[in-house]
């Protein structure tokens, strides 16, 4: 199972179309040790066969530690807890904190801007100065947007740039990856900068022909597939590892195992030089539009804005973040908020500390220490009680709940259940042998609750060899059982406290 793998690939879609410890004894009294499954149909959950939390955990057969906390969302009354102060890795549940942090700091109507700036006047179809591609940290910028900027430049009457073509990615820190402990080739762990194109990923495609493999590395989006040279691939006759990465002459140099390729296929690979990547793609598209400009070089400059691309409003970006769990979006949004607050943002850890400090001050949270904004880094720690406090402080009618994704309850065979009586929205979080779920739910009787559930087997996670970190044995079934336990706990709380 991939660590922090994005559950959805927007570019691919476009191309393909109270501080309590323990569990309250009153809640456990007389609870028979039987499973809730098979589940009844209809709009009400029966008050019989309510298994104790320890029984549910034992039946789930997941190794490691489980902690949770649930409360009345309107009164804040703590209803049930287990190890509520135990600090666990939140995984992508941390994105709920990032969402609230960004909304309060930047505002829901905030838009990221990507601009083309001329440092000199425009005369007779030429920029008499430098042309600057100026990033604003937009995590959703794609090749189609760069093409629109090039067309706008052409419609301005510009045919050439007399000076340099500069790429300014200084809006955010230039970071080579989110988590250094991830495998080199996973697309959910890209670089970060003030210019982020196609989620800082390049598409590697291969097709076997009579003379070997035809390889392409391109910056594809819905309408365009410009090839790039800043990332290069070589096929090597070996069995393992499947991929290797190195830096070579300012480029991302990849090799891939010939034995792993088969007849053809493709996958997204991370880009480690995002500014250079965006600059090369714009250069290619601009020249296709008939605009002559020099090769891109890093640099800054000020002057007139000739063209500008605005992202969607932040509220829309954050809703997609919580739905698709894109790590780059979380990091760029968090870094942008930290920079706007004037706090240190030279690293993800520094920015995440600023966000944790904000949560402690703004939401009276304790037991929270984050190392990034996405939850991909395994050293972040949050207690169930702290996450519950964030949810209660935000409020049922606050800005977070409408952005969360509905929980799909499943039957014994893992099939989605229709018309389940519990209506829940939440954020999931998954790393290898780490699982979390936090959000809100309402039962037919009308009671509204907030909850946080964390499970982690950290010794088992630490024992994974580096070569197996993308899909380690046992991680997927462990995660499936953890998710089933989360559903059982929600149904338990709905039955016990729903009236």
Concatenating the DSSP letter of every residue in 113-146 gives EEEEEESS-EETTEESS-EEEE----TT--HHHH
- Same domain? For 92 and 161 the reply is no
Q: Is residue 99 one of the residues assigned to a domain?
A: yes
- Same domain? For 364 and 455 the reply is yes
Angle CA 398–404–410, to nearest 5: 135
Angle CA 110–112–117, to nearest 5: 135
Which residue, 288, 310, 332, sits at the end of a domain?
A: 310
Structural domain range at position 21: 10-107+313-497
- Same domain? For 102 and 138 the reply is no
Q: Residues 131, 293: contact at Cβ < 8 Å?
A: yes
> Whole-prediction pTM value?
0.89
- Same domain? For 280 and 161 the reply is yes
User: In 10 A of CB 163, how many CB atoms?
Assistant: 18
User: In 10 A of CB 364, how many CB atoms?
Assistant: 12
CA end-to-end span of the chain: 39
**How do the pLDDT tens digits run along the chain, 499 residues long?**
444 443 333 333 333 333 222 333 223 223 333 333 334 334 455 555 689 999 999 999 999 999 999 999 999 999 999 999 999 999 999 999 999 999 999 999 999 999 999 999 999 999 999 999 999 999 999 999 999 999 999 999 999 999 999 999 999 999 999 999 999 999 999 999 999 999 999 999 999 988 899 999 999 999 999 999 999 999 999 988 999 999 998 999 999 999 999 999 999 999 999 999 999 999 999 999 999 999 999 999 999 999 999 999 999 999 999 999 999 999 999 999 999 999 999 999 999 999 999 999 999 999 999 999 999 999 999 999 999 999 999 999 999 999 999 999 998 888 889 889 999 999 999 999 999 999 999 998 899 999 999 999 999 999 999 878 889 999 999 999 999 999 999 999 999 998 7
Q: Is residue 2 one of the residues assigned to a domain?
A: no
Structure tokens at 287: 């020249």
Q: Which of 206, 107, 111, 118 is nearest to 158 (CA)?
A: 118
Q: How many structural domains compose the chain?
A: 2
- Same domain? For 81 and 56 the reply is yes
Q: Is residue 45 one of the residues assigned to a domain?
A: yes
Structure tokens at 211: 């003379």
User: In 10 A of CB 32, how many CB atoms?
Assistant: 10
Instruction: Give CA–CA dist 328/213, Å, rounded.
Output: 31
- Same domain? For 266 and 357 the reply is no
Residue 271's domain is classified under what CATH number? 3.50.80.20
- Same domain? For 303 and 323 the reply is no
- Same domain? For 209 and 235 the reply is yes
Classify residue 388 by burial, with Cβ atoms within 10 Å: 0-12, 13-18, 19+. Answer: buried
Residue 346's domain is classified under what CATH number? 3.40.710.10
Q: What is the sign, positive or negative, of the torsion defined by CA atoms of 134, 138, 142, 147? A: negative
- Same domain? For 414 and 387 the reply is yes
Which residue, 310, 343, 371, sits at the end of a domain?
A: 310
- Same domain? For 42 and 89 the reply is yes
- Same domain? For 334 and 276 the reply is no
Classify residue 300 by burial, with Cβ atoms within 10 Å: 0-12, 13-18, 19+. Answer: middle
Q: Is residue 219 one of the residues assigned to a domain?
A: yes
Which residue, 310, 330, 345, sits at the end of a domain?
A: 310
- Same domain? For 336 and 306 the reply is no
């Amino acid at each position: 199972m991939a660590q922090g793998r994005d559950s959805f690939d927007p570019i691919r879609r476009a191309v393909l179309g109270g501080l309590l410890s323990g569990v309250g004894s009153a809640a456990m009294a007389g609870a028979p040790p039987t499973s809730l499954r098979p589940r009844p149909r209809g709009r009400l959950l029966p008050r019989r066969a309510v298994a104790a939390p320890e029984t549910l955990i034992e039946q789930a057969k997941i190794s490691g530690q489980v902690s949770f906390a649930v409360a009345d969302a309107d009164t804040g009354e703590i209803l049930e807890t287990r190890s509520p102060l135990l600090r666990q890795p939140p995984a992508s549940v941390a994105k709920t904190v990032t969402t609230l942090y960004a909304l309060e700091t930047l505002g829901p109507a905030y838009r990221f801007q990507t601009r083309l700036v001329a440092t000199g006047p425009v005369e007779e179809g030429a920029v008499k100065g430098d042309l600057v591609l100026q990033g604003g940290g937009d995590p959703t910028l794609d090749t189609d947007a760069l093409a629109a900027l090039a067309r706008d430049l052409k419609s301005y009457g510009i045919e050439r740039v007399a000076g340099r073509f500069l790429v300014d990615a200084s809006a955010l820190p230039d970071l080579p990856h989110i988590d250094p402990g991830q495998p080199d080739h996973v697309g959910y762990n890209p670089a970060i900068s003030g210019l982020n194109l196609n989620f800082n990923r390049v598409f590697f495609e291969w097709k076997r022909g009579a003379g070997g493999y035809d390889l392409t590395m391109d910056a594809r989006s819905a309408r365009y597939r410009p090839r790039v040279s800043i990332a290069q691939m070589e096929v090597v006759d070996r069995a393992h590892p499947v991929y290797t990465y190195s830096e070579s002459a300012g480029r991302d140099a990849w090799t891939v195992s010939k034995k792993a390729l088969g007849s053809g296929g493709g996958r997204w690979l991370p880009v480690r030089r995002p500014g250079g990547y965006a600059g090369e793609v714009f250069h290619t598209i601009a020249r296709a539009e008939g605009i002559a400009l020099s090769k891109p070089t890093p640099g800054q400059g000020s002057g007139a804005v000739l063209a500008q691309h605005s992202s969607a409003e932040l509220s829309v970006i954050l809703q997609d973040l919580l739905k698709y769990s894109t790590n780059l979006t979380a990091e760029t949004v968090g870094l942008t908020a930290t920079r706007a607050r004037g706090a240190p943002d030279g690293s993800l850890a520094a920015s995440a500390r600023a966000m944790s400090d904000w949560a402690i001050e703004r939401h009276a949270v304790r037991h929270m220490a984050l190392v990034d904004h996405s939850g991909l880094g395994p050293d972040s720690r949050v207690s169930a009680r702290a996450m519950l406090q964030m949810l209660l402080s935000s409020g049922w009618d606050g800005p977070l709940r409408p952005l969360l994704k509905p929980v799909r309850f499943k039957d014994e065979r893992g099939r989605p259940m229709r018309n389940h009586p519990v209506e829940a929205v939440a954020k999931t979080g998954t790393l290898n042998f780490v699982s979390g779920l936090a959000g809100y739910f309402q039962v037919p009787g009308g009671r509204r609750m907030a909850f946080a559930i964390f499970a982690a087997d950290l010794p088992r996670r630490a024992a994974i060899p580096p070569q197996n970190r993308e899909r380690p044995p046992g991680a997927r079934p462990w995660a499936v059982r953890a998710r089933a336990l989360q559903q059982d706990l929600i149904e338990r709380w709905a039955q016990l406290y729903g009236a």
